[in-house]
Amino acid sequence: MIKVLVLTEKPKTFREMVGQELVKKSLLKISKNPETSPRIILLSGEYGTGKTLASKIFTSALNCPNKLADGDACGKEDCPICGQKIEESMFYEEYDSAIVGNVDTIKELRGTFYFGYTKGYKVIVLDECQLISKTAQGALLKIFEHPEPNVFFIICTTDQDKLLQTIVSRSLVLCYNKINYNDIEEYLHKIVNKYSQRCSELSTDEVDTNIKLIARKSQGHIRNALMLLDNMFLLGKDFKNLIKDIRPHYLELLSMGLNYNDYIKRFDKNEVDKNISRIINDLLYFPISELKTEYELLVLDISKYIFNINSNNELDSIISKFRNNIKLFNILNDKVIYNLFTDDIQFQIAMLILIKNLSSLKINNGG
């Protein structure tokens, strides 16, 4: 049996899910009051945020004979619903866009979009609906206009704008957000505690460092985080060679820019510029998409620090003298820099612009 975390750690109940509080509360209320709830539910959000997983949990909750007072499934192994794989039950049906992508297939499947039992609710999940043709969406609309009383449709999409507005308007729209990396970090610690024997060769500090890095690298997706954690369990001390941390390079570059004028007074300017080039070249080791994501996360943290929303020890020694400096905030959020995250050459230009702009800031006078 395959025992990778992305399969073994799938939550069976809403209370086990990480993040997405509004989605959970809404689906729990429907589970508690299915007779008076909308039959078309649109789950909209990025990949790997748990849309199809929530659909399966919702199916269990709807049909669990021992459901809790809040509408959640009991989650017990001896439960006839929770104790089985819900995707293999008669209550759950999932189609992806490759199957329902054209109007002829929709017409063929129309007769299966019902539930011939008086007890229980069937959930039909239509995944990646943004890829379904407009004519096929039109055929679906006819079905959505008069759904069966004991059938729920869940539409999952990563691009809601590609759906017919007539479908969206008939749906309860629940938007998924990327999961906060602090929540992911907390969740990963629970998993590590559960499987502590699998990372026994790592020290507590090494595990903590890796988890913080995994939480950031996951980019708000639990699936990404679990895959990376599996790699940590597999590689142990060699994991640090697989996953590299971009943030220290950015922090070093930030420090060089803010202190540039001081450095060129104390050291040879050519050596300072050579050091800046070295840092930029180190950054070019990483993919552009990852560089942009990490930059956005760092700018977010710095912005919170500048405006006294969060304290941050790692930033304190670098930018404390520029705290509350709106110019620093504007430099970091410069759209010109963001627009240059396209290829290696453009990225190098972006970083040199960043250094030039940072060096224009003056210490202790608000810029």
The DSSP secondary-structure symbol of 179 reads P
**Domain end position, chosen among 142, 175, 208:** 175
Q: Does residue 367 lie in a domain region?
A: no
Label the pairing between strands 40-44 and 151-157.
Answer: parallel
In a domain, 350, yes or no: yes
Q: 22 and 140: one domain?
A: yes
For residues 75 and 160, membership in a common domain is answered with yes
Nearest-angstrom CA–CA distance, 125 and 156: 7
Q: In this structure, are 252 and 236 located in the same domain?
A: no
* Average pLDDT score over residue span 336-346: 92
Identify the band that residue 71 occupies on the pLDDT scale cut at 50, 70 and 90: very high
Residue 299 and residue 325 in one domain: yes
The pTM for the full model equals 0.72
Q: Do 119 and 97 reside in the same domain of the chain?
A: yes
Q: Is residue 200 part of a domain?
A: yes
Domain boundaries, position 305: 247-359
328 and 282 assigned to the same domain: yes
Q: Are 138 and 144 in contact (CB under 8 A)?
A: no
Q: Are residues 185 and 170 in the same domain?
A: no
* Mean pLDDT, rounded, for 332-357: 93
The model's pLDDT over 84-138, given as tens digits with 9 standing for 90+, comes to: 888 888 889 888 877 776 677 777 776 667 676 668 898 989 888 888 888 888 8
Residues 261 and 326 in one domain: yes
> pLDDT tens across 229-260, in order?
999 988 888 888 787 888 889 999 999 999 89
Residue 111 lies in a domain: yes
Verify that 171 and 197 share a domain, yes or no.
no
- The 8-class DSSP code of residue 177 comes to -
Longest dimension (CA), the chain: 83
Residue 167's nearest CA partner among 188, 139, 194 is: 139
Q: What is the CATH number of the domain that holds 122?
A: 3.40.50.300
Residue that is last in its domain, among 214, 242, 270:
242
Q: What's the half-sphere exposure (Cβ side, CA atoms, 13 Å) at 144?
A: 26
Query: How many other C-beta atoms lie within 10 A of the C-beta of residue 360?
Result: 12
Q: Is the sign of the CA dihedral 303, 206, 279, 266 positive or negative?
A: positive
Residue 366 lies in a domain: no
Q: Which residue has the higher pLDDT, 251 or 6?
A: 251
Residues 81 and 185 occupy one common structural domain: no
Q: Does residue 365 sit within a domain?
A: no
- 24 and 114 fall within a common domain: yes
Q: Is the pLDDT of residue 296 over 60?
A: yes
Q: What is the mean pLDDT of residues 184-197?
A: 90
Residue 364 counted as domain residue: no
* DSSP SS3 for 284: coil
Question: Of 224, 242, 260, which one is at a domain's C-terminal end?
Answer: 242
Task: Check whether residue 83 and residue 135 sit in a common domain.
Answer: yes
Say what angle helices 344-359 and 269-283 make with each other, to 10 degrees. 140
Our count of domains for the chain comes to 3
